[in-house]
Amino acid sequence: MTKYFKFFEVAYLVIAIVFVVETFLNWNTQREKAYLYLVFSLLAVFMYLFRRKYRKKFENKDNYKK
């Protein structure tokens, strides 16, 4: 089960990188879109950190039961 959690963590990081690249590409031409991409990239990084913390908490709970 934790393999899936790790996969989604990495997926959030990939999404954040894509949005950061899109932010830089659209910065001079479409500033409103660039701000939107920047917000989405920050949200993806937050979700990565949140999921990582939740996964580690879940793993620690499983280790105490054994």
pLDDT tens-digit map of 35-50 = 999 999 999 999 999 9
Question: How far is the C-alpha of 28 from the C-alpha of 31, rounded, in Å?
Answer: 6
Task: Please answer whether residues 55 and 2 qualify as being in contact, where contact means their C-beta atoms are separated by less than 8 angstroms.
Answer: yes
Is 62 part of any domain?
A: no
User: Average per-residue pLDDT in the chain?
Assistant: 91
Give the residue among 51, 21, 63 at the shortest CA–CA distance from 38: 21
Number of domains in the chain: 1
Residue 43 domain-assigned?
yes
Residue 35, domain extent: 2-55
The radius of gyration computed from the CA coordinates of the chain, to the nearest angstrom, equals 16
Residue 33 is assigned to a structural domain of this protein = yes
Q: Is residue 61 part of a domain?
A: no
Is 17 domain-assigned?
yes
Q: Is residue 12 part of a domain?
A: yes
Tell me the pTM: 0.83
**Which tokens sit at 17?**
């990188």
Please report whether residue 51 resides in a domain: yes
Residue 66 lies in a domain: no
